[in-house]
Homo-oligomer: A and B are copies of this chain.
Amino acid sequence: MQSVFEVIVEPSRRAILGLLATSEQSVGEIETRLHMSQPAVSKHLRVLRDAGLVQSRVDAQRRLYRIRPEPLAEVDVWLSQFRQFWSTHLDALERHLDQMSIDVPHKSKGENDDPK
């Protein structure tokens, strides 16, 4: 069984989970909305299901998948040890979150990113 960290490292799987956070979806719907091949969707769903992150129910030929958020709590618990920094460095944090949404231009490798 894979750890929840291994499961959510895959961008497609995070996208699937994000989609399911809104509502239950069939495989075909996921395929269409995320522009993935059908086998790819099924394979990712298999991983997600094995890790307990989703759950399926049958509706005729379709399988409707919904989220099972419990394993994500493990990530939340792990993160909590760093929340102390959130509160004490709010400014830098907000700057960083703003940065995230921007397409960063190319950066040469090997340089230390320490801004000081």
Contact = CB atoms under 8 A, between A and B. Distances in A.
Interface string A1-27: 101011011010010011001000000
Interface residues of A, number: 46
A57 to B, nearest CB: 8
Contacts of A89: 69-70
Contacts of A60: none
A17 B82 CA distance: 9
User: For chain A, what secondary structure do more than half of its interface residues adopt (helix, strand, loop), or is it mixed?
Assistant: helix
A55 B97 contact: no
Interface of A: 1, 3, 5-6, 8-9, 11, 14, 17-18, 21, 49-50, 52, 55-56, 67, 69-79, 81-82, 84-86, 89, 92-93, 95-97, 100, 104, 107, 109, 112-114
